[in-house]
Amino acid sequence: MGKVRVSLTVNGVVHQDEIEPRLLLVHYLRDVLGLTGTHVGCDTSQCGACTVHLDGRAVKSCTVLAASVDGSAVTTIEGLRPHGQLHPLQEAFWQEHGLQCGFCTPGMIMTGVGLLRDNPTASAEEIRDGLAGNLCRCTGYHNIVRAVQAVVWQMAHTTEMPATVPGDVIPPESLPGGILSSPTGAEIKVPGSKPR
């Protein structure tokens, strides 16, 4: 069978390419577009390292054919926060030591952002349930959950909220004073967090 033409908006940029019909979205992102932040872990949808947002929903890109999502919008870890700034959850992973080797981190963050978009007041138990489809072999999950909890706390204590339109990303100016800051620009001290 010949190649098919697809048009995908990835991280806000329209890409039109001729691809093999069997090409998985994860390989399209990595091999065709060079977006290597989306990791290939298991190729069986077990680990979640390949999680991206497809039309605003977190999906495991190793189980999606790129040709089947022609016309869709995809957000990868690279497009989560434009202009080189960190997304609040990326910042929280750093502050709360939610990563060790980092291999699962992009998928964990993309899943966490989707979770918080759907449930901005998620409890620790809801966070654990929401991240259950993502595997980490290093951390024991405790600090990953703490990182997501830090963003829940931040959203409860600021007037700014993450974008809720499917496929939208949070613009750099959305949180006054910087990432994980209060509306006045003062550092937010998350209960139990360690200073950097």
Count of CB atoms within 10 A of residue 9's CB? 16
C-alpha dihedral, 19 to 25 to 27 to 30, nearest 10°: 110
Mean pLDDT, residues 151-174: 59
What CATH number is given to the structural domain containing 17? 3.10.20.30
Q: What is the pLDDT of residue 188?
A: 37
Q: Let me know whether 61 and 124 are in one domain.
A: no
Sole residue written with tokens 């999906």: 59
Q: Let me know whether 46 and 121 are in one domain.
A: no
- Give the domain-ending residue among 78, 103, 132: 78
Residue 137's pLDDT band, with cuts at 50, 70 and 90, is confident
- Give the domain-ending residue among 78, 106, 121: 78
Q: Let me know whether 94 and 160 are in one domain.
A: yes
Mean pLDDT, residues 132-147: 87
Q: What is the pLDDT of residue 100?
A: 85
Q: Let me know whether 100 and 52 are in one domain.
A: no
- Give the domain-ending residue among 78, 113, 137: 78
Q: Let me know whether 58 and 107 are in one domain.
A: no
Q: What is the pLDDT of residue 193?
A: 46
Residue 39 structural domain: 4-78
Q: Which of 64, 93, 66 is nearest to 77 (CA)?
A: 93
Least confident window among 8-17, 41-50, 138-147, 168-177 = 168-177
* pTM flag (> 0.75): yes
Q: Let me know whether 73 and 139 are in one domain.
A: no
- What is the share, in percent, of the chain residues with pLDDT greater than 90? 60
Residue 138's pLDDT band, with cuts at 50, 70 and 90, is confident
Domain-embedded: residue 195: no
Q: Let me know whether 39 and 55 are in one domain.
A: yes
Q: Let me know whether 100 and 58 are in one domain.
A: no
Q: Let me know whether 93 and 66 are in one domain.
A: no
Q: What is the pLDDT of residue 180?
A: 35
Domain-embedded: residue 188: no
Q: Let me know whether 103 and 55 are in one domain.
A: no
Q: How many domains does the chain have?
A: 2
Q: Let me know whether 169 and 97 are in one domain.
A: yes
DSSP string, 130-166: HTTT---SSS-SHHHHHHHHHHHHHHHTSS-----ST
pLDDT digits (tens, 9 = 90+) for 43-98: 788 899 999 999 999 999 999 999 999 999 999 999 987 677 888 999 999 999 88
Q: What is the pLDDT of residue 159?
A: 59
Q: Let me know whether 111 and 89 are in one domain.
A: yes
Least confident window among 14-18, 112-116, 139-143, 185-189 = 185-189
